[in-house]
Structure 1
Amino acid sequence: MSQHDSPPTTTAPTKERVAYLDNARYWVMLLVVIGHSLTQFTQMDSARGVYTWIYAFHMPFFVLISGYTARHYMGDARQTRRIVSTLVVPYLIVEISMQMIMRYYTDKPDPYMFLSPQWLAWFMAALFVWRLTTPIWRALKYPIATSIAISLLVGLIEVPNVLALPKILGFLPFYVVGLYMSRERFERLADPRIRIASALVLTGAFLYCYRYSSSWTLDWVLWKQRYDEEPLLASPLEGMLQRGELLLVGFVLTFAALSLIPRRRSWTTSLGERTFYCYLLHGYLILILRHQFEVFDRLQPYGAEAALVTIIVAVVVANLLMTKPFSVVFRPIFEPRLTWLFRSETRVTKPVGNDVEKG
């Protein structure tokens, strides 16, 4: 992919959702819920390998798709309203409520830091920042190289966690590459030879993680610490090399996964249209199960069986949260129209299209 390519643009509104993208959202959301559920078991080798494999590419996958669906962003009035109603408002609701929940369960008088996302809300903050900076990445001569340099260098300096800036800058290359993707490039990934190679790559990566992850420092895949900070404790060169390896692995596994995503509409397509609610709601369930009922602590003594049961339950719960009843109930909460807040439209502007943050 040449960095001199211009991001694809269209002049006609996108009226229909793309089945391929909704299928992709469905499968990556399963990985998100499974990964978050296994966080409690990463001390067990049986769960650690699965967790590491998921975290090697599930957010790069999600971020790249986010960049692709944001490629038409120009900052007009309609797009601005959508950012507020689908990113800013949900961010505030989730971050405030989760910090209140954690304060209640931990009984710690820590100050509220609503602009310093601690968990799920970081991705909405990231989408907000990436979306606003999209015109910059469209204008730069070498956007991909610039984003990679930023990702590698950000680990050398202290960056405050305001709106999750360390992670935003770390994952930036995946977003920028997504901006420069096109439908034709996605279609090329469907070549049978590429799909066979992709299946082998993903399988090999899984087996490698399962075999060797017990000795790895998992904080690398969280993309938020400085290189010289505990527990990374790496020199500048070691840190940049490790981050570069993570970027390479993230891109390879992301494109491998994208090549295996079904193109046709199926039962996963309709569920993939509603992953936004699954993403937000599953975090509350995990917090309640962990702190109110101590489910994960009770399961740990059972080892691999506990991890397997957790994966199965996570898949079932994720599918339930992507069903229509949950979108009907929670849409007014997480996606308010806010017509009272904005001026009425005086002219029709080009819509954003299918937003990945809703998938």
Structure 2
Amino acid sequence: MSADATPVPTVTHAPQRQQQPLPSAGAGERRAEQRDPFLDNAKYLAILLVAAGHAWEPLRDGSRTVTALYMLVYAFHMPLFAVVSGYFSRGFEAEPRRIGRLLTGVAVPYVVFEVAYTLFTRWTSEDPDRPVSLLDPLYLTWFLAALFIWRLTSPVWRLVRWPLPLALAVAMLATLSPSIGDDLGLQRVLQFLPYFVLGLLLRPEHFRLVRRRAARVLAVPVVLCALAVAYWAVAWMNYAWFFHSESAEELAAPAWYGPVMTLAAFGCSVVLVACFLAWVPARRTWFTALGAGTLAGFLLHGFVAQAAKYWDWYEPAWIRRPVGEITVTLVAAAVMTALCAPSVQRVFHRVMRGAVHPLVQGRRMSSAGFVQVLRRAFVRVRRQEG
């Protein structure tokens, strides 16, 4: 966002039965009446922001307005994915059945799309020899790697007395540690961790609080003020802090900036997430069903975003005028909507199931066996890189 993943990134009324993250990785397993339309609506609207953010990237230079919108969206859209993913992970236990679903629903898409994005990048960039690296997430796949790690650790966070302060401390320390490196996107894993842990702590009544009329009314001036601050901050602030992908040293900032910006960004992001949720409709709408397809939309739209740069779709001068910027935004929303359609979801899940079968060599392989297969695959790739 999840990518990008989130990078990246479904819900029922029974939290202990919820197995899939945002974006949803197994929505077809549940009947429509079991789903919460509020969070399905939130997932679809949030994934539109992911598409818009990627569409705006080439338009930032020379447009203060686009950059301000970009900064505002990146301040909360991936934190939102992490929060809702944590909410859906409240009932996760380290038992074979659930670990097996985590492997097939998150690990397999990670492997498939890491390879696919690498091959696509070889074709569309000046790096035709880029190696396939399952340990260095490319583009949007970082969110799947993060989600896999977060969900595996979710039982541990339920045992900790003060989980959110501890997660914030971990994120703050990560900004002081440039030596963490890029393996599995650990900087993002650790810096986005507090949002996931916050989601683990949420209950349905917390979502009802932001859906009250008073919250909806208050959200309007808050978002307008945030947009004004973003517009003012474009000239001097490094919005890469909202990417949570680098340490303070890598952002050419004093070390103490890292912990301070972690806390400041967390407060800002949580407020904006609440404002966003306040305006999400709670009833079923025409786009509610699309909320089940956010994983497919998240992973597939990256190819479109990369192709747009490769084929110079941003070169015409009119694209960088207001009418062009609006057109780009609408096209991005339309493409994402199409990629979240039920028909695309069905094809996507069939392809993922097809990818699982050769890996597990049969439907009855245990979760432990599947882990061993994936481990051997990682070792083989690592040897090739060496």
In the superposition, the TM-score normalised over structure 1's length comes to: 0.87
Q: Which runs of 5+ in 1 are unaligned?
A: 1-8, 346-359
| C-alpha spacing 1:121/1:234, structure 2 compared with 1 (3 Å) | same
SS of equivalent residue, structure 1 residue 147: helix
For residues 187 and 218 of structure 1, the distance between their equivalents in structure 2, rounded to whole angstroms, comes to 31
Matched-pair contact (CA < 8 Å) for 1:228–1:234: yes
Q: Match of 1:169, as an amino acid?
A: L
Is 1:178–2:160 an aligned residue pair?
no
Is 1:156–2:170 an aligned residue pair?
no
Q: Deviations over 1:196-242 (max 9, x none)?
A: 1122212221232134323321221111111012xx21112122212
Matched-pair contact (CA < 8 Å) for 2:118–2:131: no
Q: 2:156 aligns with which of 136, 139, 150?
A: 136
| C-alpha spacing 1:294/1:11, structure 2 compared with 1 (3 Å) | closer
Is 1:55–2:70 an aligned residue pair?
no
Shift of 1:335: 4.8
SS of equivalent residue, structure 1 residue 72: coil
Matched-pair contact (CA < 8 Å) for 2:15–2:88: no
For residues 16 and 263 of structure 2, the distance between their equivalents in structure 1, rounded to whole angstroms, comes to 38
Q: Which residue of 2 aligns with 1:276?
A: 295
Matched-pair contact (CA < 8 Å) for 2:59–2:320: no
Q: Which residue of 1 aligns with 2:3?
A: none
Is 1:70–2:100 an aligned residue pair?
no
For residues 42 and 184 of structure 1, the distance between their equivalents in structure 2, rounded to whole angstroms, comes to 39
Q: Deviations over 1:78-136 (max 9, x none)?
A: 21121111111111111111112112222423433221112100101111000000111
Q: Match of 2:344, as an amino acid?
A: F
| C-alpha spacing 1:135/1:300, structure 2 compared with 1 (3 Å) | farther
For residues 211 and 280 of structure 1, the distance between their equivalents in structure 2, rounded to whole angstroms, comes to 33
For residues 239 and 188 of structure 1, the distance between their equivalents in structure 2, rounded to whole angstroms, comes to 32
Q: Which residue of 2 aligns with 1:190?
A: 211
Percent of counterpart pairs with the same letter? 28
Shift of 1:66: 0.3
Shift of 1:188: 1.5
Matched-pair contact (CA < 8 Å) for 2:118–2:130: no
| C-alpha spacing 1:127/1:344, structure 2 compared with 1 (3 Å) | closer
Q: Match of 1:131, as an amino acid?
A: R
Correspondences of 1:227-306 after superposition (within 5 Å): 227-229=248-250, 232-291=251-310, 293-298=311-316, 302-306=320-324
Matched-pair contact (CA < 8 Å) for 1:151–1:172: yes
For residues 90 and 220 of structure 1, the distance between their equivalents in structure 2, rounded to whole angstroms, comes to 28
Q: 1:111 aligns with which of 131, 152, 162?
A: 131
Q: 1:127 aligns with which of 147, 172, 187?
A: 147
Moved more, 216-225 or 147-156: 216-225
Correspondences of 1:217-228 after superposition (within 5 Å): 217-228=238-249
SS of equivalent residue, structure 1 residue 295: coil
Q: Which residue of 1 aligns with 2:58?
A: 40
| C-alpha spacing 1:12/1:133, structure 2 compared with 1 (3 Å) | closer
CA RMSD, Structure 1 to Structure 2 (Å):
2.1
Moved more, 136-145 or 99-108: 99-108
| C-alpha spacing 1:71/1:341, structure 2 compared with 1 (3 Å) | same
In the superposition, the TM-score normalised over structure 2's length comes to: 0.81
For residues 278 and 312 of structure 2, the distance between their equivalents in structure 1, rounded to whole angstroms, comes to 39
Matched-pair contact (CA < 8 Å) for 1:122–1:163: yes
Q: Match of 1:285, as an amino acid?
A: V
Is 1:318–2:316 an aligned residue pair?
no
SS of equivalent residue, structure 2 residue 137: coil
Matched-pair contact (CA < 8 Å) for 1:155–1:226: yes
Matched-pair contact (CA < 8 Å) for 2:319–2:325: no
Matched-pair contact (CA < 8 Å) for 2:296–2:348: yes
Correspondences of 1:72-111 after superposition (within 5 Å): 72-108=91-127, 109-111=129-131
SS of equivalent residue, structure 1 residue 236: coil
Shift of 1:50: 1.1
Shift of 1:49: 1.1
Matched-pair contact (CA < 8 Å) for 2:79–2:192: yes
Q: Which has the higher contact order (CA 8 A, sep 6+)?
A: 1
Matched-pair contact (CA < 8 Å) for 2:72–2:226: yes
Q: Which residue of 1 aligns with 2:230?
A: 209
Matched-pair contact (CA < 8 Å) for 1:115–1:162: yes
SS of equivalent residue, structure 1 residue 216: coil
Moved more, 201-210 or 124-133: 201-210
For residues 193 and 72 of structure 2, the distance between their equivalents in structure 1, rounded to whole angstroms, comes to 20
For residues 313 and 11 of structure 1, the distance between their equivalents in structure 2, rounded to whole angstroms, comes to 35
Is 1:17–2:24 an aligned residue pair?
no
Shift of 1:179: 0.2
